[in-house]
Structure 1
Amino acid sequence: MQILTPFKTITVSLFVLFFLTACSNEEATEQTNNTPVAIESGDECHLCGMVIAEFPGPKGELFEGRKSHVRKFCSTRDLMSWYLQPENRPNTKEIYVHDMSRSDWNSPSDEHMINAREAWFVAGSSMKGAMGPTLASFAQKDAAEKFVTKHGGTVLEFKAITMEILNTGSAMNMGSMHH
């Protein structure tokens, strides 16, 4: 049996204290918010694998996990389809979408990404995204309402978006493809 001398006891205690401090500092730095990152020309949609930049309409990205891994999506519809899966929701930190009141529909600017949880969405409009029907995203409710007068649809807040709403759009689109 080894007997710890006071010097060894202090050394071990300091090491443990240092180790615990290092861990808690790492935790503290991970609490910082992630900011949107640019969607590069070759980036593929995490859900469908298509090249994101080749399609019109608002795109999205979300950060997840302890190491803040970013996932990018070709449309707000694909983004929300991923997010709404029960296993993905608790792991998601920040979510960003394009503010379409400040972006061109055919090539949205990554300079105009907004927090999706605070955004307003338009479902069921005549404007199409990468996979057909999509959710137009806006920073302001009045901008979303103006969009509806031009292109139809319904204004929704983030928490009102459900899989049923996402699936209704694609079912309507699939129906028109068969005729």
Structure 2
Amino acid sequence: MTTPTYRCACARHTRRRLLGWALAAPLGMGLAGLAGCSDRTGADSAHAAAPADFDRATSCELDGMLLADYPGPKAQIHYAGQAQPVFFCDTVELFSALLAGEQVRAVAAAYVQDMGLADWDVPRGHWINARTALYVSGSRRHGSMGPTLASFATQEAAAKFAAEHGGRVLHFAEITPEMADLSGGALHDTRM
């Protein structure tokens, strides 16, 4: 079995090498490399943007859904050179954006919500670094796009959630593009 190779402007890199950058480097540099081989000097992790919160009018970058109208973990990316973050109504969308081969914008910071502290049905605040978070894949709890990657700050909280709702605990680098597949998310959205 061969490791898939992804083509980017600077060279040929395997998914394993790109994910390795994300783990080995500070968030800004690691995700900038992961986000399409952009100039890794553009993201200054020492001055990474602080997480922002959303309000009733904040919409998702990918589909325009209002974040406040849906349950489950939310996410945000702060792109280098961009004053405001972009928000995602689901962590699956965050990974879809970060793992997309066509992603070329340098990422300064990425955050997800700690669902060990946030209310699942009305999540607000409790932002944590996306790279250091733990994720539960395959649980019975759904987010705005259906099956989601529940995010947690601690191993204990992630394991407790998995024991109660099913699924398995994963680290950031273990999330694959297949886990971030957005096709079919609308099948689970009963509010559309």
Larger helix percent:
1
CA contact (8 A) 1:120 1:158 kept: yes
Give per-residue Cα distances to partners, 1:71-130, cap 9 Å, x unaligned: 1010111111111113326611210000011111011121x1000100000011000100
Instruction: Report the CA distance between 1:29 and its aligned residue.
Output: 8.6
Paired residues of 2:43 and 2:107 also in contact (CA < 8 A)? no
Pairing of 1:1-150 with structure 2 (within 5 A): 32-88=47-103, 91-110=106-125, 112-150=126-164
Query: 1:62: how far off?
Result: 0.6
Computing the radius of gyration from Cα coordinates, the structure with the larger value is 1
2:66 and 2:119 map into 1 onto residues whose CA distance is: 18
- Shift of the alpha carbon at 1:67? 3.4
Identity %: 39
What is the root-mean-square deviation of aligned Cα atoms in Å? 2.7
Moved more, 28-37 or 147-156: 28-37
CA change 1:28–1:88 in 2 (3 A) is closer
More off after superposition, 98-107 vs 83-92: 83-92
- Structure 2 CA distance for partners of 1:30 and 1:80, relative to 1, 3 Å: closer
Partner residue, 2:14: none
- Structure 1 residues 108, 159: CA separation in 2 closer, same or farther (over 3 Å shift)? same
Aligned to 2:24: none
User: Alignment partner for residue 180 of structure 2, among 152, 166, 170?
Assistant: 166
80-89 or 100-109, which moves further after superposition?
A: 80-89
Q: In the aligned structure 2, how far is the partner of 1:153 from the partner of 1:62?
A: 25
Whole-Å separation in 2 of the counterparts to 1:121 and 1:68: 28
Q: Which runs of 5+ in 2 are unaligned?
A: 1-41
Q: Deviations over 1:129-177 (max 9, x none)?
A: 001111100000111111010000111101111111233x9669959x9
- Alignment-derived partner of residue 6 in structure 1: none
Secondary structure at the counterpart of residue 109 of structure 1 = coil
How far apart are 1:30 and its partner, in Å? 9.1
Separation in 2 of the partners of 1:161 and 1:73? Answer: 17
Write the letter of the residue equivalent to 2:167. Answer: G
Q: In 1, Cα distance between the equivalents of 2:180 and 2:94?
A: 11
TM-score of the two chains, using structure 1 as the length reference: 0.74
Unaligned runs of 5+ in 1: 1-26
TM-score by length of 2: 0.69
